[in-house]
Amino acid sequence: MKKKADKSVSDNLNAKNTDLLNNTAVQTGKEFLTTNHGVRISDDQNSLKAGERGPTLLEDFHFREKMTHFDHERIPERIVHARGSAAHGVFKVYEPMAKYTKAGFLNDTNRETPVFVRFSTVGGSRGSTDMARDVRGFAVKFYTEEGNFDLVGNNMPVFFIQDAMKFPDFVHAVKPEPNNEIPQASSAHDTFWDFISLAPESAHMIMWLMSDRAIPRSYRMMEGFGVHTFRFINQDGISSFVKFHWKPLLGMHSVTWDEAQNISGKDPDFHRRDLWEAIESGSFPEWELGVQIVAEADEHKFDFDLLDPTKLIPEEIVPVVKIGKMTLNRNPDSFFAETEQVAFHVGHIVPGIDFTNDPLMQGRLFSYTDTQLSRLGGPNFHEIPINRSIAPVNNNQRDGMHRQTINTGKVSYNPNSLASGCPFQAGKMDGGFSSYAEKIDAHKIRNRSKSFFDHFSQATLFFNSQTEPEKKHIIDALKFELGKVETIAIRQRMLYILQEIDPVLAQEVAKGLRLDIPKNIGLVNQLVPADIDPKSYQPVYPKELAITESPSLSIIQNMVNSLKTIATRKVAIIASDGANENSIMNVKKDLLSEGAVVHIIAPTDNYIIAENEAKIMVDKTLLTTASVLYDAVYVAGGAASIATLKNDGDAIHFLNEAFKHCKPIAASLDAKEILELTYFANKLSKDKGIVMESDLTVLSKQFIMAMSQHRFWERENYGKIPA
């Protein structure tokens, strides 16, 4: 990971203020205000009036132009994934992948392919919180030399539904209810669970949505998945099936649900800010691109159908091979021009990659262009700078709303002789795209394959693969979500579905809801056609390879193998006037050298005066920030500072909350008195996540070790913790 010099928030602010004071920004030669047509404006403060106290004149072209433009500043937000943030970066492949694909960007190890990546939530509006319990979009546009390839994925490897026909229904159900537009960015309401309880194909995805994967700590710390099975096509036209994965180099982390809800109030831009600040400070987020490749001949060797988007291929059966790395290294200059106007499309593929018949993917191939027509106002959205291919674009498409290209000549058709036949169709040797010639000989039907009807095995696999704290989080999430559902029959139907996934899971949720699990729910079963036995799909995959647990599905089990780094984790150092300077600065230095981000937080702003009279700059106050915005907290020593903090309810609350959310807490030994005022005072010597030391070098070492473990989930068993 590349690093610029570490800068605190106060350093950044000071630099900006100096720039403004020196007035450097306006010495650029672009200082005159003009209309959109280049006329210099002499007065931008007043509209043109008939006399000092008279009415505004229609003639005021400057006013009308300015106001008309303003009136049209918003474009329709995305119908789903409206809330998002993006960044530029590069992708480089490790080894040529020629055996499987002829895609240029996956073969040339010297090529740095530019990318633009947009992360998003799904359900909320453009201004909604980043911390909703939701799927995260993970859309990557590769600007390859052979044209744009968009990998429009999510941070979960499966989806709610199997057929695109159901997407409008699903989205109507999860969005705020249409009569009162409540609730914003939340699935915890009747219409969502009504639909889910009647659509058992969603069972697997619901397990993911109720898990900690749905409340990531950062976009930089989540996995990404292409979801559908794609095809790789090599130079000889041989096809292999492929699933795409993104593996974050920082490992996976999530927050607690209580924390997520708090962050939604304290900083609804939490993920957006996190991504922006990491890139600004030079801590560039990185992911490895992984692939699971399945030979064409092995298509039917699994106990599920590769075309079913509610199924994943367990990594323990087909390993994920890491084939390249993506680094995000530049923030956009304009949120609107880039993040808002970027148009992704599953159908943007390049030679070497192709589609499968996954019925969800097939439907997406229609939807993404269609939606841009109204969102971006016409068929020329590919000309918007962020959407332009770096490969030359030549065709006979012309005109339309917002056309920017000025085509020359009179020929806009093919075949032609007047332009010497240009532009020509590209043959195979010229890199022309040709679709994989899959053999299809079938009846036209409206139905699903029998192989799509086992809705529960992988939901069970997911639940079984979680550690105890993660299982508890899923149970709690279901109790929360269903607890918000007002219609009792919906809650009951869900209990019935949960029972199919795991009886203990269903019982625990039922206990929380104080409901009995119903024995039989007619409506659900009607969705599985009477002549279909869900268990009838006979895989040819060797039985001994069938698995009941897949550790790669658990965030905690993944951590065991991931990098033990604290790079970019945010640490709060709490101190006040009279603090011991070494106790702040030595620990800060040690944390910074591990790549952590450190904020000094005090009861008052700007600076504190240490016990040796040194002036120490403050980044945030106990009023302007909160423990939920940090990964760990350290209380500095110094008698006067300790005396002040002991009487500061916000400081004690900060610690209580950090403890409740299972975060590492450290204190200089003399600051123990403050920790003794918290409700976890009786845990100080027993809790593995609490470090108290007088030797600051030892303290830093132990604190860094504790932080590398992320959270101390055993605290959740201590009973209800106030905060």
Using CB under 6 A, list all residues that contact ligand HDE: 78-81, 84, 118, 120, 137, 139, 152-154, 159, 164, 167, 227, 309, 342-344, 360, 363-364, 367-368, 371
C-alpha–C-alpha distance, residues 5 and 338, integer Å: 28
154 included as an active-site residue: yes
Which amino acid type is present at position 533? Answer: D
Beta-ladder partners of 573: 600, 634
Nearest-CB residue to ligand HDE? 137
Alpha carbons 670 and 636: distance in angstroms, whole number: 9
CA pair distance 150, 228, nearest whole angstrom: 13
CB of 576 to ligand HDE, least distance (A): 44
Are 158 and 311 in contact, with CB atoms under 8 Å apart? yes
> Whole-number minimum distance, CB 178 to ligand HDE, in Å?
17
* Cα pseudo-dihedral 464, 469, 473, 474, rounded to 10: 0
- Could you tell me which residues are beta bridge partners of residue 120? 84, 137
155 in active site = no
Rg value, the chain, Cα: 29
Distance CA 225, CA 309 (A): 11
What is the longest distance spanned by two Cα atoms in the chain? 91
By C-beta, is 75 or 401 nearer to ligand HDE?
75
Closest to ligand HDE by CB, 174 vs 227, is 227
Strand ranges, E, within 523-631: 570-574, 597-602, 607-609, 615-617, 620-621
Helix and strand numbers, DSSP H then E, in the chain: 19, 18
Using CA atoms, how far apart are residues 703 and 666, in angstroms rounded to an integer? 6
CB of 304 to ligand HDE, least distance (A): 16
The minimum distance between CB 568 and ligand HDE, in angstroms, equals 23
Q: How far is the CB of 329 from ligand HDE (least distance, A)?
A: 19
3-state secondary structure of 541: coil
Rounded to a whole number of angstroms, the minimum distance from the CB of residue 393 to ligand HDE is: 20
Q: Give the up-direction half-sphere exposure of residue 299: CA atoms within 13 A in the CB hemisphere.
A: 14
Contacts of 703 (CB under 8 A, 6+ apart): 587, 591, 632, 634, 664, 666, 691
Smallest gap from Cβ 397 to ligand HDE, in A, equals 20
Distance, CA of 150 to CA of 691 (rounded, Å): 46
Nearest to 305 by CA among 158, 108, 149: 158
Rounded Cα distance, 349 and 142, in Å? 10
Q: Which CB, 103 or 227, lies closer to ligand HDE?
A: 227
User: What residues does 92 pair with on adjacent strands?
Assistant: 325
Q: Which of 62, 81, 228, 245 is catalytic?
A: 81
Say whether 128 sits in a helix, a strand or coil.
coil
What is the spatial distance between Cα 483 and Cα 722, in angstroms, rounded to a whole number?
A: 21
Q: Two tokens at 189?
A: 């309401």
Which of 79, 563 has the CB closer to ligand HDE?
Answer: 79
Cα–Cα distance measured from residue 55 to residue 58, given in angstroms and rounded to the nearest whole number? 9
- Cβ nearer to ligand HDE, comparing 79 with 488: 79
Active-site residue identified among 148, 154, 155, 380: 154
Least CB distance from residue 378 to ligand HDE, whole Å?
15
CA–CA separation, 62 vs 39, rounded Å?
9
Q: CA distances (Å), 717 to each of 254, 513, 722, in order?
A: 19, 20, 13
Joined tokens for residue 20: 């403004």
Distance of closest approach, residue 78 Cβ to ligand HDE, in angstroms: 4
Residue 609 CB partners (closer than 8 Å, separation 6+): 577, 578, 615, 616
Q: How far is the CB of 315 from ligand HDE (least distance, A)?
A: 18
- Report the run of H or E that residue 192 belongs to, with start and end: helix 190-198
Q: In terms of CB distance, is 154 or 644 closer to ligand HDE?
A: 154
Which residues are part of the catalytic machinery? 81, 154
